[in-house]
Structure 1
Amino acid sequence: MIKKTQSIFRHELKHVITPAEDRLLSERLGRLFPRDSHAGKRGVYNVNSLYFDTPNDKALVEKIAGVSSREKFRLRYYGEDLTFLRLEKKIKKGGLCSKRSANLTYEQAASLLAGEIAFLLESEDPLLIELYSKMKGELLRPKTIVRYEREAFTYMPGNVRITLDRKLHTGLYNLDFLNTKRRYIAAAPGHTVLEVKYDAFLPDIVKMSVQMPDRKTGAYSKYAVCRKYD
């Protein structure tokens, strides 16, 4: 019998900030915390995601309605590196989030985009089998491409990860997701999303470092923003 892996839930805070605040935070965080080790020389990298949804847009509707318990599936790679492709399921419960993932080969990802999904059931991976079940039962399908530039910082106490996500773009031709030279449409010019994720506690140094005047924690979905361009 295949056992499902237990999900670990973390706190997630989001703020939409201006370009000026982005520059200030980037400089401040760079002095205080180490950058993500996977970032390039500029300290940033591109995130490419293809989100799945049902014909009646269950994930989108639940997000807009503010349903406290919801989930989203996405296929993701970074920069132009197609040797590291990953299927992810993001789970939200109130202010907590969790993520499960499974690696895919380029050939598997291409088959998935082509609608050839038998390999999911044959994989013996619980997450891939769950995706197969929902593609068959709920008609879950690739919906929208989301691409953005990320600058990330880490802090070991509290297992903190701070990200600045900017230059949000979307793509409409989902079968072309694995084409690293494809063109994108700017989805939210001038917006940067500050995200802070942590386990049981948020250290004071992190609280102080990300504090901006008159900024309150809010809900922001890159997927929902990009769906406006369907």
Structure 2
Amino acid sequence: MPAVKYRHELKHFINYSDYLQIKNRLKFITSLDNFADKKTGRYKIRSLYFDNIYDKVLLEKINGVDNREKFRIRLYNDDSSFIRLEKKTKKNGLCQKLNAIITKEQCALIISGSLGWIKETDNPLLMEFYCKSKYQLLKPATIVDYTREAYLYKVGNVRITFDMNVRSGLYSKNIFDKDLPVADPISDNSIILEVKYDEFLPEIISNVIQTNNKQATAISKYASCRIYG
């Protein structure tokens, strides 16, 4: 599997006023993410996370285990023609993400627990998922929906995202259900500001994202949504 660089990741809860301030600064120095709608600057993300019967992934997150990983299936804007299986790893405070493109049919097989076909592929991430699903007993755990607005800054390979309208799927693992019943796990309508970068965070970005109301958070969207799953 090709080496992928570990990146820094900062997360904060911000309010709507902070969001407007930061957004209005960013638009002069950054570009929009390629997934974004050109009119709204936003796009929808739906992720199906995997965990085992002992809630290993959830408890490692809550307990702050430093070296941990999680698998998820992700699609954008309800478009089933582009689906990724992703593994996100956190080690020594840094994050790494690997992904593999899968078809809608392969996605449905994974969700149903039919994984035998993976043995016929040569994709190392899919093979890793197959092995860990078998010996860790990974199963679909919960669906997480949210709207994202993302900005890119080339120097330092910086990505600034605003995640809002976070919703947890209720009692269903059907990632293709556009009418999936959902619940709101973040009751105060806070927006999650995430900043990802490589070796350094440029000073201009550090200054732009400063607010008086940022609250550092260690709770992931997955962990927040598992209250309903």
Task: Note the C-alpha offset of 1:214.
Answer: 4.7
Q: Which residue of 1 aligns with 2:6?
A: 9
Is the 2:14–2:213 Cα contact (8 Å) retained in structure 1?
no
Give unmatched runs, 5+ long, in structure 2.
Answer: none
Select 2:138's aligned residue among 140, 145, 148. Answer: 140
Deviation readout 1:189-221 (Å, 9 max, x if unpaired): 311110000001110110001011153543230
Q: Which amino acid aligns with 2:106?
A: Q
Name the counterpart of 1:221: 220
Q: 1:44 aligns with which of 24, 42, 45?
A: 42
Counterparts of 1:115-134 in structure 2, within 5 Å, are 115-134=113-132
Structure 1 residues 35-44 or 48-57, which shifts more? 35-44
CA offsets per residue over residues 87-138 of structure 1, 9 Å max, x none? Answer: 0000001321000100000110011111111112221111111111111111
2-structure distance, mates of 1:153, 1:165: 12
What displacement does 1:62 show?
A: 0.6
- Where does residue 206 of structure 1 map in the other structure? 205
Q: Is 1:188–2:186 an aligned residue pair?
A: yes
SS in 1 for 2:80: strand
1:105 to 100, 103, 106: 103
Amino acid in structure 2 at the alignment position of 1:179 = D
1:161 corresponds in structure 2 to 159
Number of equivalent positions: 227
Q: Distance in 1 between matches of 2:14 and 2:31?
A: 21
Q: What is the letter of the counterpart of residue 67 of structure 2?
A: S
Q: 1:176 aligns with which of 174, 177, 180?
A: 174
Q: 1:67 to 1:177 in 2, by over 3 A?
A: same
CA contact (8 A) 1:52 1:140 kept: yes
| Deviation sequence 1:2-56 (CA, Å, 0-9, x none) | xx22231000011111122122222222233111122012000011000000110
Q: Specify the code of the residue in structure 2 equivalent to 1:30.
A: K
The unaligned stretches of length 5 or more in structure 1 are none
**Distance in 2 separating the partners of 1:214 and 1:94:** 27
TM-score w.r.t. structure 2 length? 0.95
- AA aligned to 1:39 is A
What's the secondary structure of 1:144's corresponding residue?
strand
1:52-106: per-residue Cα shift (whole Å, max 9, x none)? 0011010100111101110000000001111000000000013210001000001
Measure the CA separation in 1 of the matches of 2:105 and 2:120.
15
Counterpart contact for 1:14–1:220, Cα < 8 Å:
no
CA RMSD of aligned residues (A): 1.3
